[in-house]
Amino acid sequence: MDASFLNSFHLDILKEIGNIGAGNAATALANILDKKVDMKVPQIRIMGFSEVSEVLGGAETAVAGILLGIRGDISGYILFVLEETAAKVLVNILMGKNPEEEVAYNEITLSALKEVGNILTGSYLSALSTLTGLMIKPDVPDIAIDMAGAILSVPAIDFGKTTDTVLYIETEFIEGKNRVIGDFFLVPDTDSYMKLINTLGAIY
Amino acid sequence: MSENVIKVGMADLKHTLHPGTLITLGLGSCVGVALYDTKTKIIGLAHIMLPWSHQARNRFNKAKFADTGIKLLLDNMIESGAHRDSIVAKLAGGAQMFAYTAVSDVIRVGERNVEATKKVLADFNIPVIAEDTGGRHGRTIEFYSEDGRLMIKTIGYGITYI
């Protein structure tokens, strides 16, 4: 997705989508955790490749990335990335354990995380779908826990085909003393990108 | 010993005279191309994101692609005194971070980056003497001018030298 095509209207709409999406996601998260979850107003960010490694605490920071393919009127994928320390907190709360406890990543914990990512990205996509009127279907999620640089290279490479920047939405969820910062990278393929821009443009 | 440590970013390339160390953090599907001139100990490192420049609409950043990136790195090294005939290559990266199969382009980009890199190096008659590529994990690499060793650091797969 070439962020240079985006004007301030597009960014406002994307921000609004991010807002509604994150709102939905916070509600969904509150339901899964059975706890009150607040959120901060999401930030839309456009950054150059050189800064990619600075997101989420540096290129070598361990992060969890949950990737969800999208189909329907637009195709591509959405990637939700959060720091591994935050992922640990989420898994522990889900499992009814102390948030600080060490987590062994096995089939159970990974699928729990996948499910959280699935619900959060699903909420975001449904906001996008509602606001644009485009039919957007999420696919099966996939998860990877590794260095931030390596995970973020996936959207960066796709943006890289047309531009030297990456667009993402930073969202902060707050549950009691626990804060979870997550970044959503929406990566439509080239045709879908134009469709999305045109649809967003037509809203105004 | 060497205080000359240079960081190479994503879609970036750097070279240095001996003594020096070049590092790049968190390679995923990208490929780290490490070139070593065995005579002068000049080293160069490129963090390649995509295989071929002609397949992209935006070619402004030469370091982003295997073809234009390797050529530029070689030119820079030779300008600094390296000899084409004594340059050897080591490769790291080109992983597939997600197994997701519906995004065919995404899943194979690591593999295609490695293929393109090898093709370009072969065209320049530069032998690939060692590699740690593929798999499903990220890599941080450090490249030393002293002996041309390449250190590869991972999460969960330990540290290796090639």
Q: Which residues pair with A179 in a beta bridge?
A: A174
B102 touches A: beta carbon within 8 Å: yes
What is the arithmetic mean of pLDDT over B43-69? 89
CA distance B66 to chain A (A): 13
pLDDT at B102: 47
CB pairs under 8 A between A and B: 121
Mean per-residue pLDDT of chain B: 90
Q: Is the C-alpha dihedral spanning B156, A175, A173, A120 positive or negative? A: positive
Phi, psi dihedral angles at A157 (to 5 degrees): -65, -40
- pLDDT exceeds cutoff 50 at B96: yes
Q: State the average pLDDT for chain A.
A: 80
pLDDT at B23 over 50: yes
Residue of B23, B27, B30, B73 marked catalytic:
B30
* Higher local confidence (pLDDT), A159 or B23: B23
Contacts of A8 (CB under 8 A, 6+ apart): none
A58 min Cα distance to partner chain B (Å): 9
The two structure tokens encoding residue A195: 């469709």
Q: Is the pLDDT of residue B81 over 60?
A: yes
CB contact under 8 A, A149 and B26: yes
CATH pick for A38-203 out of 3.40.1550.10, 3.30.565.10, 1.10.3720.10, 3.40.1260.10: 3.40.1550.10
Judged against a pLDDT cut of 60, whether residue B2 lies above it is answered with: no
**Phi, psi (deg, nearest 5) at residue A133:** 75, 5
Per the CB < 8 A criterion, the answer to whether B111 and B88 are in contact is no
Three-state DSSP class for A49? helix
- pTM to 2 decimal places: 0.85
pLDDT band at B80 (very low <50, low <70, confident <90, very high): very high
Residue of A117, A45, A37 lying closest to A78 (CA atoms): A117
A38-71 burial code (b ≥16 CB/10 A, e <16): ebeebebeebebeebbebbeebbbbbbbbbbbbe
Which pLDDT belongs to residue B107?
57
Mean pLDDT of A113-119: 85
Helix, strand or coil, per DSSP, at residue A96: coil
Highest average pLDDT, of A23-32, A69-78, A135-144, B69-78, comes from: B69-78
Among all residues of chain B, which has the CA nearest to that of A188?
A: B103
Q: Give the residue on A whose Cα is nearest the Cα of B108.
A: A154
| CA B160 – CA B46 distance, rounded (Å) | 20
Q: Closest Cα of chain B to A105: distance in Å?
A: 12
B30 is catalytic: yes
- Find the residue in B nearest to A189 (Cα): B103
**pLDDT score of B138:** 93
CB neighbours of A184 closer than 8 A, spacing ≥ 6? A18, A21, A78, A79, A80, A121, A124, A168, A169, A171
Confidence (pLDDT) at B101: 54
Res A148 pLDDT > 70: yes
B25 in reach of chain A (CB within 8 A): yes
Are B138 and A146 a contacting pair at CB < 8 A? yes
d(CA B84, CA A92): 55
Test the B interface: residue of A67, A74, A143, A146 with most B CBs within 10 Å: A146
Q: State the nearest Cα–Cα gap between A77 and chain B, in angstroms.
A: 8
Which of A157, A165, A194 to mutate against chain B (most B CBs within 10 Å)?
A: A157
Band (A2; pLDDT cuts 50, 70, 90): low
A190: nearest CA partner in chain B: B57
pLDDT tens for residues A45-83? 777 776 776 666 778 888 999 988 888 888 888 888 888
Q: What is the ipTM of this complex?
A: 0.86
E-strand spans in chain B? 5-7, 13-16, 21-27, 31-37, 43-48, 87-93, 128-133, 139-144, 150-153, 159-161
Q: Is the pLDDT of residue B82 over 50?
A: yes
Contacts of B57 in chain A (CB under 8 A): 161-162
